Amino acid sequence: MEIERLVQTLSVEGHALARAAEEAGTEAKVPTCPGWQVRDLVRHTGMVHRWATAFVADGHTSYHPDEGLPDLDGAELLSWFREGHRRLVDTLSGAPADVECWSFLPAPSPLAFWARRQAHETTVHRVDAESALGGAPSAIAVDFAVDGIDEVLRGFHARPKSRVRTDAARVLRVRAEDTDAVWTVRLSSEPPACERGDTAEADCEVAGPAAALYLSLWNRRPFPRVAGDSSLATLWREKSAVTWG
């Protein structure tokens, strides 16, 4: 996806997250993140925004630690979040296309990486904030959800730290039914190997609308449909969590 579109999505989603958090109240529980209250969600996402901004704004070419979580709550916390979100959007919007800085997943450029990563980070956490209000989350565009599925399967879980592994070789297929996007995920004792397309016979297929699959792969909702060996869908839900740090 184009960087401009990703940054615009980041802007919209950050504002929506703040609105939902304000409406729910920072003491509200977050059903999609068991054990968290809205204050935890806002602190975490605001910290990540500042952490990402520093790489692009300051040109860190190696890993740089975050600044930790703020001891803020209520209106003061939401103001802090909005300020950091605005700075991230402004930094990505104003950065030169050839900016050099550290990143941790394959991308056409560091700027493309950070725009994509923060757009998806903020979208998933916007859904978390809306879950504190109850009801269905706001819509996610099909092409953006497809891009997010790509990032999860071919980015995060291609890394050595992925725990989604099987003793014997197995194949998981992910099919977005409202578009032609299909992924084949080969599971083994090594990190998952994912490719686009229906390239191998699957032991299990998870299918549904792209936005629903996107949230399912981030463990925000059950898979819409599972066919074949459901233990692979269970494996995903039990082992795929991406943790901070």
- Distance, in Å, from the CA atom of 8 to the CA atom of 131, rounded to the nearest integer, reads 23
Q: Which domains does the chain show, CATH number per domain?
A: 3-131 (1.20.120), 142-239 (3.30.1050.10)
pLDDT per residue rounded down to tens, the chain (245 residues): 999 999 999 999 999 999 999 999 999 999 999 999 999 999 999 999 999 999 999 999 999 999 999 999 999 999 999 999 999 999 999 999 999 999 999 999 999 999 999 999 999 999 999 999 998 999 999 999 999 999 999 999 999 999 999 999 999 999 999 999 999 999 999 999 999 999 999 999 999 999 999 999 999 999 999 999 999 999 999 999 998 76
- Distance, in Å, from the CA atom of 212 to the CA atom of 201, rounded to the nearest integer, reads 23
The pTM (predicted TM-score) of the whole model is 0.97
